[in-house]
Structure 1
Amino acid sequence: MEIRYSSNQRDFKRYTTEETRKEFLIENLYAANEVVAVYSHVDRMVTLGCMPTTETVPIDKGIDIWHNFGTQYFLERREIGIFNIGGAGSITADGVKYELGYKDCLYITQGTKEVLFASEDAA
């Protein structure tokens, strides 16, 4: 998981376009069957990208939850809004399956222990 720290506002005023992009633009957010995570100290926000293709992907895949957040599971102290910008898929939250189409979104509450992402079509 990539961690991004706040920038000093006096320094930011002198940033070039390239420095601003490096500081704030999140690139390569999607990888097949992986969860890509970026934690930003600016808003204390975690941005996740998940692109399930051939397997079901748990929300914490590749993330050391205890080390990074001090919790037992990802949504122990946070909630999540999920936006589907790909093909048809599903999200299973604590055993309840939600079907999502292109541009559908889903809100999952704090305290949900298991979140799984799946694609309806690997293409």
Structure 2
Amino acid sequence: MEIRYSCNQRDFKRYTTEETRKEFLIENLYAANEVVAVYSHVDRMVTLGCMPTTETVSIDKGIDIWHNFGTQYFLERREIGIFNIGGAGSITADGVKYELGYKDCLYITQGTKEVLFTSEDAA
């Protein structure tokens, strides 16, 4: 998981376009069957990219939850909004399956222990 620290507001005023892009642009957010995570100290926000293709992917795949957040599971102290910008798939949250089509979204509450991402079509 990449960790980004907040920038100084005085320094930000003099940033060039390239410096602004380097500070805020998240590139390569999606990888097949992986969770790509970027934690920002600005608002303590976590941006995740998940692209399940041939397997079901857990929200915490590749993330050391205890080390990075000091919690037992990802949504112990946070909530999440999920936006599907790909093909049809499903989210399973604590055993409840939600079907999502292109441009559908889902809100999952704090305290949800297990979140799984699945694609309907590996293409």
User: Scaled by the length of structure 1, what TM-score is found?
Assistant: 0.99
In 2, Cα distance between equivalents of 1:110 and 1:13? 36
In the alignment, does 2:90 pair up with 1:90? yes
1:56-76 deviation per Cα after TM superposition (whole angstroms, max 9, x unaligned): 000000000000000000000
Alpha-carbon distance in 2 for matches of 1:34, 1:53: 9
| Alpha-carbon shift at residue 35 of structure 1 (Å) | 0.1
Deviation at 1:55, TM superposition (A): 0.1
CA deviation profile, 1:72-106 (whole Å, cap 9, x unmatched) = 00000000000000000000000000000000000
| Matched length | 123
Question: Once the 2 structures are TM-superposed, how far is the Cα of residue 43 of structure 1 from its aligned partner?
Answer: 1.6
- What SS class does the counterpart of residue 118 from structure 1 fall into? strand
Gaps of 5+ in 1: none
Segments ≥4 residues shifted beyond 3 Å: none
Structure 2 residue ranges without an equivalent (≥5): none
In structure 1, distance between residues paired with 2:42 and 2:72 = 24
The question of 1:45 aligning with 2:39 is answered no
SS in 1 for 2:29: coil
Could you say which residue in structure 1 is the equivalent of 2:101? 101
Q: CA RMSD in A?
A: 0.4
- How far apart are 1:42 and its partner, in Å? 1.1
